[in-house]
Structure 1
Amino acid sequence: SAVAPATAATAATATAGRIKSIGYGDGQLKVNFGVNGGTSGAKFDVGSIGLSLDGRALKPAVTDANGGRSPAKRTVVLVIDTSRSMLGSKLDGAKQAAEDFLNAVPADVQVGLVAFSDKAVVKQQLTPEHPLVGLAVQQLQAEGGTALYDGVQEGLKLLGSTGIRLLVVLSDGDDSGSTIRPAILLARAKTSKTTIDAIGFQANTQRSRDHLQEIAQAGDGQLIQAAAADDLPTLFKDEATTLSNQVVISAEVPPELANHQVTVLVTGSYGATAVRDSAEYVIGAAKAPSRSPSSAPAAGLKPVDDAAARLATKDVFYVATGAIFLGLLVLLALLLRRPPDSTDAPIRRRLSIYTLSGRAAQEATQETSVLGGNALSRTAVDFAGRVVRQRNFETNLARRLEAAGVPLKPAEWLLIHLGVAVGVPLLALLLTGGDLLICVIGLVVGVLLPLAYLSFKEGKRTAAFLNQLPDTLQLVAGSLSAGYSLPQAIDSVVREGAEPIAGEFRRALIDARLGVPLEDSLEAVAERMKSKDFTWIVMAVRIQREVGGNLAEVLTTVAATLRDRDRIRRQVSALSAEGRLSAAILFSLPVVFAMYLLLVRRAYIRVLYTDPLGIAMLVVMLILLGVGGLWLRAVVRVEV
């Protein structure tokens, strides 16, 4: 089989026919045919070459790739692993094998060199001057990780897209730092029509062998195992011999076979040996030949489907993800589009101050949400409303939205939250070229970001309320001393105060005008603002209303007490600022550094989420990080 794995011992002596590539244009089918291995001095018998499509014999025109009036352009790129694991005799053996390859390869073949460790680097551009490549080989040094897929990608770029192309990959280990996704690399290799042979040099793990096999299979090549450094020169000489034993077969295709999948069969004689190979090919399609069942790859490895390969390319991925993201933006624009105000809009605005939400009263049948008044937005809000009611968290969410001063209904907030949770991972997917791990992190960020925003707004509004409370109590006490009633004093706060306390008192006053006891409406303000201080004030108001007393004097005393507490609170905050900053740095440093490595040097932490022991360590780390965060919070938090 042309793609079946071979050992080092058999690779040196086996001779098998091999279809390198198939092309079609202007009614002509062109097949590049060669042998694996080969015998010194043996050549193809051009007159014995036969070509058939689905058993139908054609009249081939055969040209030796090494000669003729227009010899075929042939290029080879050596992709050599220079990671730290190749240090010593391994790299020395690879250098000697490359030298032997350069000495044996035909003079017209252009050769390039790519080395990969932490990253892939082109060490020598394509050149027919083989000594230049040999000089670059001798300067290779072993260090860093193993960016196997990046090395193959650089090799494919260097080879170009014309002529007979061969990529020889030498590696001893698994990929541990590539930036390109394996699926994208394998898809590019399959559609490049480049033959890729992989040499597994002491690749002792099944994972590393599988990766090399997938690369060779995508390039319609073979994986060859090398158990020792002494095997490498023989294997590289075989690759050079393969280049020396190639023919280009051309034949006119019958019109009735156009746009049909056919079995291409090539037979012939190489020296005293009969050789043959077959491959499936779609006439008129620009695709690489697929191997026939007789030359199928090793069991357990699945070839990359052509359709999946096309969809896996980065350009198509960008277009698809961009289209989805653009569709979401258009949907959001439709939801946010507001209908024009009707003729009764001024009346509704004048009545809005008497509603609980502070928004204009509207007819139930044509209710307009913050997301718009069209049928689509109303349907979405109604559905989200049913969800929050069924899940029984509408009350808590509504309370938090009111405390944060966010003018949204729970259903509207849920829709926006869902949009952010979907949009952030889609954007991350688009920017990273399909990185699923970053997409998962983006999903977590998209879910937590609206919650963090809501908590921030809630905390900021509550803090502003507490800061305004002493001056507000002083204003209410002054109004009471001047002879105003408590509702009138509160109304003066509404007219002269600032947000958020003016808005909360306005709501309390509206509730009182609608029949709710003033003490109960003020108690609701204390619950929304989570203020124990205001709860005590409401308690003082209740006592004064029931048994009498000088409420103005009580409020003045409470205002002075709150100012003293606020002064102490600020002093404690200043004294504990260094401890709180240290706690924040200690807690966030592991997270931030892990994210940095994930984006810049993922190979350093890949073992934490690919190896069972690493996953266990990651879980323990997260538990310890959580416990440490709680402990730091308890240490730096001072109650006043």
Structure 2
Amino acid sequence: MFRGSPRALRALLTAAVVGLLAAVPAAAADSTVNVTGIEVKSGNLVGLIASTNGSDIDPSLDVTVAGKTYPVDAITSGTGSPVARTTIIVVDTSGSMGTSGMATVRSAVAAFLKSVPDDVRVGVVSFSGKATLDLAPTADQGKVQAAVNDLTADGETALYDGVNLAVRTLGSRGERSILLLSDGGDTASSATQATTVAALKSAKVRAEAVSFKSTDSNVSVLQSFTKAGGGSVVSAANAGSVQNAFTSAAKTLASQLSFSMPLPAGVGGAQNIKIAGKSGGKAFATTALVDFGAGVAASPTKAAADTSPITGPTEDVIKGGAPAATLPVLGVSPILGLGMGAVFVALMAMVIALSSGSFKSGRTKRVENIDRYVAATAAIGKGKSRPNAVSENLVFLGERMMEGRDSTSKTMAHISRADLPLRAGEWWVLRIVAIVVSVATFMVLFHSGVIAMLVAALIGLLVGVFAPAFILKFLSNRRGKKFEAQLPDVLTLVASSLSTGFSLPQALDAVAKDAADPAAKEFSRALAETRIGSDVSDALERMAARMDSENMRWTSMAIRIQREVGGNLAETLRTTAKTLREREELRRHVRALSAEGRLSAYILVALPIGIFLYTMKTNHDYIQLLWTTTLGIIMIVGGIISLGIGMFWMRKVVDVKV
């Protein structure tokens, strides 16, 4: 127990209070200093610091890392800030704003853009019945003003959804802030005030709010946002005060100081750093958690801060080191660039190998033809590498791969019908080349991330596998239809030749000389078969099978019957040609009558696909519910199944056999 006079007791208590105050850290002014955007970039620790009450900050700072203090000089953060700075203007466009309110917003944004630093990227989010990203963050101030000028007031108020959309748009890198103009009321959001406050705290986004009065005013909501985001609420009673509030927000960005220091040697992983200095003559100290990654092995030499502006808040930066290396032109990683180069070299080598024979001169080809039949010359050339050995090896491998497959016969039938000079092995090599080129092309076009590249590779693989077969079938069907269209005229020409006294081979020879392709080439081939001993009827039947022509099968059957039992072949062919013309006329008539149904089918199939792609571009947050929720996945699967059934049903309805 203390024994003494009351005066001595008061003196002792006073000394104790003074001692306690002296023991308080020099962080009493922490609430007036805001440190944002601290990150590791290009071997340096960079960040931004500003005073929230307008006080000047002494540029001399002390940064303590792993128990060691480093003096750092802060500089004015002009257009060369090493930290990406992004702000999004969040505007209430509900019906309560009215025409005059929107005019005030436009003039306030114009004043904001005049004062904001050039390196700050500005975006626009509006909310009425729903939140909308009207403009992604950009350095083009003209686009920002144009986006705000296009806003109109109408509908309900989705304040919480608008703030959440702005937070998601800002990303997770650099110095990020929102400038909110609202009365604090909310009538249509799917989010809540609590989730919105949590989103601001989690993302560490600074929130500045301009409060205007209305029947739904709720300043406490705006205060909760600014408290979570380390900003302030400014009341705006008229248009002038709104403009002043926006200008003040721009000046806050302009007053930020940036600091940069080389990474300390041997420091890695997540570290709590301390930043101390003076603001308005008063000492302050604040802490922040920074991930130094792997750190640096040796003490680096002090270098100037990287003042190149970052293009946006989502730029990929490797923690604890330099930014991800990219090729200056394509903007892809070195590994992908090397892969692309290897694929390009391989494709060029394959093309050169496959086409090496086409570069031979006429003299070389004649000499090689002679060498094939001269044993002595072949013996002399024995052991020498042939110029097209690579292509022959690839084709031989393709022949081995295609041999024994059930699909090979169908493939070769399509190749023959399309009149393509390809063997089975050459077709296999062509498909491999198509797969490689397709995968490489899609990976180059969609190289935004690992998942995107994997999806692009899968899509490229599917395109490379199915596109050549689809194109081959298209070419063969097109040539087959052209042959079918020529057949009535060809039969009429044969009948006329027979009537003048020509024999059937002579009549076929007239077709080969006078008709157009593909009929001329196919009849010439059939005639060539007859000249080496094949029967005319058999040659025509093989042509019908080669062209998959039912009409030609009937024609060859009529010729065979006439040759066996006798009769007037010319009259038979004229009758056949007339029948074919009547069938073609009926088929075209039916196709004209079913044109409306086919067009309706095309529109009904393309409409949901087109709306899906359009909504993906205009309202991605809305459409992504189809693959981010269980109900959405069920709906999209059901929609695809229904679309497939509808396509099959409508095709059967309009497909009339003649």
TM over 0.5: yes
Q: Aligned to 1:564, which of 561, 573, 582?
A: 582
Contact 1:403 1:458 in 2 (8 A): yes
Report whether the alignment pairs 1:409 with 2:423: yes
Contact 2:443 2:457 in 1 (8 A): yes
Report whether the alignment pairs 1:317 with 2:335: no
Q: Which runs of 5+ in 1 are unaligned?
A: 1-11, 67-71, 100-111, 115-121, 159-168, 289-301, 350-364, 367-371
Q: Which residue of 2 aligns with 1:161?
A: none
Deviations 1:356-415 (A, max 9, x none): xxxxxxxxx99xxxxx97444334333333333354322110101111222323333344
Contact 2:273 2:287 in 1 (8 A): yes
Q: Which residue of 2 aligns with 1:125?
A: 113
Aligned residue runs from structure 1 range 13-52, under 5 A: 21=38
C-alpha separation between the residues in 2 aligned to 1:415 and 1:29?
Answer: 51
Q: Which residue of 1 aligns with 2:88?
A: 79
Deviations 1:508-549 (A, max 9, x none): 233334444433332221122222222122222333343444
C-alpha separation between the residues in 2 aligned to 1:31 and 1:307?
Answer: 12
TM superposition shift of 1:493: 2.0
Q: Aligned to 2:175, which of 160, 178, 195?
A: 195
Report whether the alignment pairs 1:231 with 2:224: yes
Pair 1:635–1:514, CA change in 2 (3 A): same
Q: Which residue of 2 aligns with 1:583?
A: 601
Q: Aligned to 2:471, which of 449, 453, 469?
A: 453
C-alpha separation between the residues in 2 aligned to 1:46 and 1:276?
Answer: 18
C-alpha separation between the residues in 1 aligned to 2:72 and 2:196?
Answer: 42
Q: Which residue of 2 aligns with 1:354?
A: none
Which amino acid letter does the alignment assign opposite residue 340 of structure 1? K
Pair 1:428–1:278, CA change in 2 (3 A): closer
Contact 2:395 2:426 in 1 (8 A): yes
SS at match of 1:552: helix
Deviations 1:578-622 (A, max 9, x none): 333333333333334434444565455333333332232222222
C-alpha separation between the residues in 1 aligned to 2:349 and 2:123?
Answer: 56
C-alpha separation between the residues in 2 aligned to 1:137 and 1:278?
Answer: 28
C-alpha separation between the residues in 2 aligned to 1:432 and 1:170?
Answer: 30
Which amino acid letter does the alignment assign opposite residue 565 of structure 1? R
C-alpha separation between the residues in 2 aligned to 1:381 and 1:207?
Answer: 63
Which amino acid letter does the alignment assign opposite residue 224 of structure 2? D
Contact 2:90 2:178 in 1 (8 A): no
Q: Aligned to 1:386, which of 400, 418, 423?
A: 400
C-alpha separation between the residues in 1 aligned to 2:526 and 2:130?
Answer: 68
Which amino acid letter does the alignment assign opposite residue 463 of structure 1? K
Q: Which residue of 2 aligns with 1:6?
A: none
C-alpha separation between the residues in 2 aligned to 1:74 and 1:147?
Answer: 24
Q: Aligned to 2:635, which of 617, 625, 628?
A: 617
C-alpha separation between the residues in 2 aligned to 1:566 and 1:480?
Answer: 25
Which amino acid letter does the alignment assign opposite residue 317 of structure 1? V
Which amino acid letter does the alignment assign opposite residue 79 of structure 1? I
C-alpha separation between the residues in 2 aligned to 1:421 and 1:210?
Answer: 48
Contact 2:412 2:424 in 1 (8 A): yes
Q: Which residue of 1 aligns with 2:508?
A: 490
Q: Which runs of 5+ in 2 are unaligned?
A: 1-28, 145-159, 209-218, 233-248, 307-316, 370-380
Q: Aligned to 2:409, which of 395, 418, 435?
A: 395
> Greater Rg, structure 1 or structure 2?
2
Pair 1:459–1:306, CA change in 2 (3 A): farther
Pair 1:75–1:638, CA change in 2 (3 A): closer
C-alpha separation between the residues in 2 aligned to 1:249 and 1:480?
Answer: 98
Contact 2:562 2:569 in 1 (8 A): yes
Q: Aligned to 2:360, which of 340, 348, 368?
A: 340
C-alpha separation between the residues in 1 aligned to 2:258 and 2:364?
Answer: 83
SS at match of 2:113: strand
Contact 1:213 1:223 in 2 (8 A): no
Q: Which residue of 2 aligns with 1:519?
A: 537
Which amino acid letter does the alignment assign opposite residue 127 of structure 1? S
Q: Which residue of 1 aligns with 2:493?
A: 475
Pair 1:20–1:561, CA change in 2 (3 A): closer
SS at match of 1:125: helix
Which amino acid letter does the alignment assign opposite residue 650 of structure 2? L
User: Which of 1 and 2 has higher RCO (CA within 8 Å, sep 6+)?
Assistant: 1
Q: Aligned to 2:570, which of 548, 552, 572?
A: 552
Pair 1:311–1:600, CA change in 2 (3 A): farther
Pair 1:636–1:250, CA change in 2 (3 A): closer
Q: Aligned to 1:173, which of 164, 168, 191?
A: 164
C-alpha separation between the residues in 2 aligned to 1:467 and 1:244?
Answer: 76
SS at match of 1:150: strand
TM superposition shift of 1:53: 6.5
Contact 2:396 2:425 in 1 (8 A): yes
Q: Aligned to 2:557, which of 539, 550, 568?
A: 539
C-alpha separation between the residues in 2 aligned to 1:196 and 1:570?
Answer: 65
Q: Which moved more, 1:395-404 or 1:458-467?
A: 458-467
Pair 1:535–1:53, CA change in 2 (3 A): same
Pair 1:534–1:76, CA change in 2 (3 A): closer
Structure 1-normalised TM-score? 0.61
Question: Matched residues, percent identical?
Answer: 29
TM superposition shift of 1:78: 3.8
Deviations 1:94-142 (A, max 9, x none): x9xxx9xxxxxxxxxxxx999xxxxxxx98326279xxx9xx9999764
Contact 1:44 1:268 in 2 (8 A): no
TM superposition shift of 1:505: 1.7
Pair 1:589–1:80, CA change in 2 (3 A): same
Q: Which residue of 2 aligns with 1:528?
A: 546
C-alpha separation between the residues in 2 aligned to 1:565 and 1:137?
Answer: 65
Q: Which moved more, 1:497-506 or 1:486-495?
A: 486-495
Pair 1:427–1:616, CA change in 2 (3 A): same
Structure 2-normalised TM-score? 0.59
